[in-house]
């Protein structure tokens, strides 16, 4: 699954896992998984789940100042489970899965 963004006024489809790379190509200041897009700091990355996981701790490479952010999740393959973020802290969040699954999820955390 991809997200739709505007680049130079033209709509484009972009996988969440490529957001930091696109930001760097656009000349946006980045450092690891951090980018500042129009004044909104973001964290982006991936997390791998296995059949044994129903909750995974996701830790950012650099913390936000507080927990005032939103998390967008995207499985990189087809999954038949429910997944959602919870327990948002400055340093990360918990990825909850309704059942164990072998899958990689990309995430995008954006300051509110």
Report the CATH number at residue 51: 2.60.40
**Kind plus residue range of the DSSP H or E element containing 48:** strand 40-49
**Kind plus residue range of the DSSP H or E element containing 43:** strand 40-49
Against a cut of 0.95, is the pTM above it?
no
Alpha-helix residue ranges (DSSP H) falling in the chain: 19-25
d(Cα 100, Cα 105) in Å, to the nearest integer?
13
pLDDT category of residue 30 using cuts at 50, 70 and 90: very low
Total structural domains within the chain: 1
Specify the higher pLDDT residue, 25 or 44: 44
| Maximum mean pLDDT: which of 27-31, 41-45, 51-55 | 51-55
pLDDT category of residue 19 using cuts at 50, 70 and 90: low
Residue 12's domain comprises: 3-111
pLDDT of 88 above 80:
yes
d(Cα 84, Cα 73) in Å, to the nearest integer?
7
- Sheet architecture: strand order including 83-89: 55-59, 92-97, 83-89
Lowest mean pLDDT among 2-16, 32-46, 71-85: 2-16
């Amino acid at each position: 699954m991809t997200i739709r963004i505007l680049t130079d006024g033209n709509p484009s489809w972009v996988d969440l896992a490529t957001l930091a790379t696109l930001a760097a190509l656009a000349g946006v200041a980045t450092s690891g998984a951090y980018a500042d897009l129009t004044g909104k700091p973001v964290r982006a990355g991936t997390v791998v789940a296995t059949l044994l996981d129903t909750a995974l701790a996701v830790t950012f490479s650099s913390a936000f100042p507080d927990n005032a952010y939103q998390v967008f999740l995207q499985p990189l393959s087809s999954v038949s489970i429910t997944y959602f973020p919870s327990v948002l802290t400055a340093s990360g969040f918990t990825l909850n899965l309704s059942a164990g699954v072998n899958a990689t999820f990309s995430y995008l955390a954006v300051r509110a």
